[in-house]
Amino acid sequence: MPSDLAVQVDAFLTVRLMRAPILRADGHPECTLLTGPPTPLRPSTQEELIRLGVRLVPPGTPLTLPAAQIRTGEPRWWGDTALKGSLPPQSIVIAACRSIADSSKEW
């Protein structure tokens, strides 16, 4: 998702005592939020996410996680959201995206 949306989703989750680990590579305008297993989505929800710039990565797709020594352009944990504990349900992260879009003229 776009990094500016990721900031707002992170704040939404934090208020609800949840955190999604967020990956970001230097110079890239998008972030990857890690969530729990996917849930089936209605086509209208998928269209809304696409409009917001949110792409769902299919389960089983390999992701590069940050190494101990990070080089420029490689993924890194964003903020203090490194992989700790359980992942938030995908449905909660999608609800956060939709709530932010509904309450903001930016989206």
Compute the half-sphere exposure of residue 98: CA atoms within 13 Å on the CB side of its CA: 13
- 33, 9 contact by CB (below 8 A): yes
Give residue-wise pLDDT tens across range 79-92. 665 556 788 999 99
SS3 86: coil
Give residue-wise pLDDT tens across range 28-71. 889 999 999 888 999 999 999 999 999 998 888 898 777 666 66
Q: Whole-prediction pTM value?
A: 0.81
Helix runs in 28-85, H state only: 43-52
Give CA torsion, residues 91, 79, 5, 84, to 10 deg.
Answer: -10
